[in-house]
A and B are shown apart, each in its own frame.
Chain A
Amino acid sequence: MIENKSQKRKNAWIAFLCVLAFLALIFCLDQWIKPTDKLGMLLIVLQKGSVYALAAVSMNLLNGYTGLFSLGHAGFMLLGAYTYAIFTIPDKSRDAVYQYFDAAIRFSIPEKLSQHMGGFGTALGVFIALVLAGLVAALMAWLIGLPVLRLKSDYLAIATLGFAEIIRAVFQWSKLGPITNGSNLLKNFARASKFKLEIAGTKLSLSTFVPVLIATVSITLIVLIVNSTYGRAFKAIRDDEVAAEAMGINLAKHKMIAFVTSSFFAGVAGATLAMVLSIAQANNFKSAMTYEILLMVVLGGIGSITGSVIGSLLFVAASEWWLRGLDSGKFLGIEAPNIFRNGFRLVVFSVIIMIVVLFFREGIMGEKELPDLFRKKKKDPAKEAQS
């Protein structure tokens, strides 16, 4: 598919405008819908959905595009969540959070910056903490990658899973309590529900807008990577390692780049998750979380970024919102409190997932992206970045 340069530029502009329009819509939704409304669930789904979308896309970069089957995602998200939380707890709530320990790190980036720059400083501080979260995860990924990336398929999966468990154990170790608060949870840090924009006295809520913005920007970056020469090298490695090496692709280097990049964004996703949930606790980042993210990727289609986004939004919407009735006795007007009791939602949900895994192996999108769908109908491709 050869497109000329002006066509490409036009597509990029269309994509950019679509993303802007989408973000504007989210911003408006944030103002219109109150969390207590009936549609309040929509906001929660958007918040959590965007976090999981980012996590799923970053996992897809590794599992779908590079063909490295890694199951260490929860570990990197944990690193991100903790890094973000530790560096944004305000000084005056430190002692309340670290009840049983003497906090070692007494440095809140947003607070320090807001003393000098006001509201903008807080935003900048949150941004720096997010990037730091990603960098810590990426650094750890680099260290882990040195020994682990030499392994093949199943062995790689089980080794990364093992590292995620080790990271979780280290963070719960009481000797590290002054930094990680042991096995207790971290709270009171900069969280999404507190993000407000104040213009001329009116307060505008940003609690949904910020997570969606972070996810959108990060996913756009991943799309750019996938479409670059690096992305093409990743796909070559996935399709045939030996052939890729013969074509002059440095396997070790490219695998490492994919692993570190994926972990960076997993770290950012972890930080955003902490931001949305307003708590961070090592015990939540079990291998079950990695499995859930993997199932979202499968649902959307391995090797499709749009698919991962749709998959995770559907996953979150179904489990948090649409299938809620299955847990509380009433679903689609049928009342059966004996069958529709706690946990039934997850059973139905896992059956649906098994059906997808067994009979619709392509997932929702297969390897197609959103623009491919438009391309079929008409010649003019509207390339939209995924959001």
Chain B
Amino acid sequence: MDVLKTTLPYIISGISVGGQYALIAIGYTMVYGILRLINFAHGDVFMVAGLMMVYLSASLPLYLSIPLMILLTVLLGFTIERVAYKPLRSAPRMSVMISAIGVSYLLQNLALYITGGLNKNYPQIPWISDRISLFGMETSRVTVITPFLTIVLVFALVMLINHTKIGMAMRAVSRDFETSQLMGIQINRVISATFIIGTFLAAVGSILFFTNYPGVVPTSGAMPGLKAFVAAVFGGIGSIPGAVIGAFIIGIAESVIKGLDTILIVNGVISEQIGLATFSDAFTFVLLIIILVFKPTGLFGEKSTDKV
């Protein structure tokens, strides 16, 4: 009982973080499913969404700045695809990946220039950043909302993919790029739609994520981005339910490790702090390596074979 009582708060905040990662991870997994590209810039788009919110909310009321921020982020995602990835469509995969790294570098430096490297305080959003108490622990309302919102959004997305024309086109393109082109699917439109959905979810995720953090710095997006990518790989890249489950597992693991010292002390396993929280980021990658070694296609990934 004691174990549960000390661990529960960390699990709850882990589920919340996991939900935020899930929203970013979907962007990675959809783009990878279609273009076979790790979009390294996705985490930085997420950071830019946070910064835009900071600047927009300074001059506009929230009911205007939130939709405007989402719109601008989607526009950014669309532009990045058109400018940096589209010209390289027939280039080797390594070139596209390098281009993605270049975009990430550019966005980070641009953010550094505009903010002057200072921490920008994220605006307080009424209602969702209110403090509430849950099972005897103090938390903000966003912690509770995130998992539900994530599940609703994912459900809508799965519906979109399974029951609409553009969704059918996406499934076809991710199955076979060239053949679907021959069948008359307009590849560029499908890819743009993928990027728009991915960045939209990242923008929503950024509101939830940054509300729980003191502020936004140019490198804020790098770590969540990497973790969301790991989540996507963990669940089997290309699979949306896989990415969501992977993200929840990683979020919970990260949060529990952050509090592992306290949990172990309370339960009498160790007698003093041993600084295990240092490994909260690294553990994500341990999970990644374990899954890559034992099941390289992830939990729900499809098996692919190399043809000579």
Contact = CB atoms under 8 A, between A and B. Distances in A.
A158 B233 contact: yes
Given A169-B281, A342-B113, A357 B99 contact: yes
Interface stretch (A87-95, A103-111, A130-138, A346-354): A346-354
B222 A288 contact: yes
Contact of B293 (A147, A169, A298, A357): A147
Interface in A272-302: 286-288, 291-292, 294-295, 298, 302
Contacts of A151: 292, 296
B289 A347 contact: no
A166 B101 contact: no
Contact of B98 (A286, A292, A298): A298
A294 B101 contact: yes
Contacts of A302: 94
Contact of A358 (B88, B105, B222): B88
Contact of A350 (B32, B87, B109, B296): B109
Interface string A56-80: 0000000100000100000000000
A286 B218 CA distance: 14
B84 A358 contact: yes
A159 interface: yes
A172 B282 CA distance: 11
Contacts of A349: 109
A361 B95 contact: yes
B230 A158 contact: yes
Contact of A347 (B113, B282, B293): B113
B67 interface: no
Interface residues of B, number: 49
Interface in A153-202: 153-155, 157-159, 161-163, 165-166, 168-170, 172-175
B84 A291 contact: no
B278 A343 contact: no
Interface residues of A, number: 48
A39 interface: no
Contacts of A172: 278
A168 B284 CA distance: 13
B289 A163 contact: yes
A344 B293 CA distance: 43
Given A157-B38, A158-B288, A162-B289, A354 B106 contact: yes
Contacts of A165: 226, 281-282, 285
B155 interface: no
A350 B105 contact: yes
Contact of A173 (B94, B275, B288): B275
A271 to B, nearest CB: 23
A174 B275 contact: yes
Contacts of A357: 95, 98-99, 102
A166 B278 CA distance: 10
A159 B288 contact: yes
B296 A155 contact: yes
A348 to B, nearest CB: 9
A343 B281 contact: no
Interface string B52-64: 0000000000000
Contacts of B148: none
Contacts of B152: none
B308 A242 contact: yes
B93 interface: yes
A350 B117 contact: no
A99 to B, nearest CB: 17
User: Which of A162, A163, A288: most chain B Cβ within 10 A?
Assistant: A162
A347 B113 CA distance: 7
A174 B278 CA distance: 8
A268 to B, nearest CB: 24
A157 B97 contact: yes
A14 interface: no
A342 B115 CA distance: 10
Given A158-B233, A165-B281, A358-B88, A153 B116 contact: no
8 contacts: A153-B94, A158-B229, A158-B288, A170-B282, A343-B116, A347-B106, A350-B109, A357-B98
> When A and B form their complex, which 8 residue pairs have the shortest distance between CB atoms, in order from nearest?
A162-B285, A169-B282, A343-B113, A346-B109, A174-B275, A350-B106, A166-B282, A147-B293
